[in-house]
Amino acid sequence: MRVSIWRQDVDLRFALDAAHQRHDQRSRLFLQVQRDGVDGFGEIAPQPAALNGDPSVEEVIAELRDFVVPMLESIEGREGALPSWTRVARFAGPRAASNPAVALVEMALADHELRRTNVAATSVWPALYDTPRQATVSAIDESDEWPVELGVARLRVKTTSTPPQAWALERLARVTAPVVLDFNCSALSDEDVMHQARVVGDVCDLVAVEQPYAAGNVVDHARLASQLGVAISVDEGIRSLRDIAQLARYGAAQIVCVKPSRVGGLANARTIIAAANDAGLRPYIGGFFESPFARRVNAMLARSCVVEPSDLDVVEIRGHTYDHETDQVADGLGWRPCATMLAHCEVVLTSHGAAI
């Protein structure tokens, strides 16, 4: 077995301000696992710095190097085969970086397993829904463009505890799609959130407020939900089945954003989505500025189990030194990072197991 990990640092074509972070650059981690003449790829896009419970890219690399890849090597050496991707979620430890690190390995092993058996992921996860697209823009910095194409079913708008200025309200007044106001854990009080919801709701179709309070703060979200008048969506607060159970028990949310890399991979994401549906919540798939490869995998997952508008658009970057980022293939996950792109990435880990 050989495991290779590359890091790609990209400049986003359209910068996006959130409450505590400006998204203008991003790091993507690609992992390739090779064994028995077959390879498989995975990808995640961690944040540059730890924030709101999510780890930094450096923490994820350390988690892969020190814990997850050695565990994979140990299992492969002991069992004489790669573990099934369906087992990988159990690799996760208590550290914040564990879930994204495990998600990266799980995707690569799923790709490898499907390719080894000449199976396409679409036959395992058939498209059952024409999942609509959700786009994200920012009402924080006027210089941030709103590159929203026609056909977007919902618009998520980044905000802070301070209500949007006149320029942002003018833009919102021209929006025809339903709007979700995303606080990214920055709200200071119920009164501030409700005031901002009234101001924004006067100029557009405001349908939800997302993650006003900190991840795990079920009590404050439940209190706000009882008086807000629009739905509450939870994003940073969705990491496990327990989070779904708690939100449903307290009536603290109606919508939940499930990000595969945050919850520990594709298998966990599907399980959490099913639990959310069973609890009467409305789940959607979110993303972390991944390349077209992981975006297409997330879109495939969404079309198999999600009816809510989801974060499915390709993230545009600047400064291409290659013609394309992904190659289409017949089996496995259906796409793979192209070799030309990987040649322009930094190699952060190469590891050899018992067999190749």
pLDDT digits (tens, 9 = 90+) for 121-137: 999 999 999 999 999 99
Alpha carbon distance 326, 330 (integer Å): 13
Average pLDDT over residues 279-283: 98
Residue 353 has pLDDT above 70, yes or no: no
Whether residue 313 is contained in a domain is answered as: no
Whether residue 312 is contained in a domain is answered as: no
Per-residue pLDDT at 356: 37
Same structural domain, 113 and 131: no
The count of other CB atoms within 10 Å of the CB of residue 22 is: 15
CATH code: domain of residue 87: 3.30.390.10
What domain range is 134 assigned to? 126-305
| In the chain, % of residues over pLDDT 90 | 91
- From the list 239, 237, 186, 177, the residue with the least C-alpha distance to 208 is 177
Same structural domain, 20 and 150: no
Whether residue 310 is contained in a domain is answered as: no
Alpha carbon distance 95, 231 (integer Å): 31
Same structural domain, 323 and 290: no
Alpha carbon distance 110, 85 (integer Å): 5
Residue 351 has pLDDT above 70, yes or no: yes
Average pLDDT over residues 309-318: 91
Residue 355 has pLDDT above 50, yes or no: no
The count of other CB atoms within 10 Å of the CB of residue 36 is: 12
Alpha carbon distance 165, 6 (integer Å): 41
CATH code: domain of residue 168: 3.20.20.120
Same structural domain, 100 and 134: no
Same structural domain, 94 and 23: yes
Residue 56 has pLDDT above 90, yes or no: yes
Whether residue 40 is contained in a domain is answered as: yes
Average pLDDT over residues 321-338: 87
Alpha carbon distance 137, 204 (integer Å): 15
- From the list 260, 257, 243, 264, the residue with the least C-alpha distance to 301 is 260
Helices (H), 174-282: 190-201, 218-228, 241-250, 260-263, 266-278
Same structural domain, 166 and 290: yes
Same structural domain, 300 and 153: yes
**Which residues 6+ apart lie within 8 Å of 195 measured at CB?**
163
> How does strand 22-35 pair with strand 2-17?
antiparallel
Per-residue pLDDT at 348: 96
Q: Write the DSSP symbol of residue 132.
A: P
Same structural domain, 109 and 77: yes
Alpha carbon distance 235, 156 (integer Å): 12
Same structural domain, 54 and 176: no
Same structural domain, 201 and 343: no
Whether residue 343 is contained in a domain is answered as: yes
Instruction: Note every long-range contact of 241-250, with CB atoms under 8 Å and residues 24 or more positions apart, other chains counting.
Output: 241/271, 241/272, 241/275, 243/216, 244/272, 244/275, 244/276, 244/279, 244/281, 245/275, 245/279, 246/218, 247/218, 247/221, 247/279, 247/281, 248/279, 248/280, 248/281, 250/218, 250/219, 250/221, 250/222
Same structural domain, 101 and 141: no
Residue 265 has pLDDT above 80, yes or no: yes
E strand residue ranges, the chain? 2-17, 22-35, 38-44, 134-138, 154-158, 179-182, 206-210, 231-234, 255-258, 282-285, 326-328, 335-337, 346-352
> Per the structure block, which two tokens stand in for 344?
């322009």
* Cα dihedral 70, 48, 301, 347 in deg (nearest 10): -50
For residue 259, how far is the Cα from the chain centroid?
4
Whether residue 314 is contained in a domain is answered as: no
Residue 275 has pLDDT above 50, yes or no: yes
- Mean residue pLDDT of the chain comes to 94
User: In the block, which residue shows the tokens 């490869």?
Assistant: 293
Same structural domain, 246 and 324: no
The structural domain count of the chain equals 2
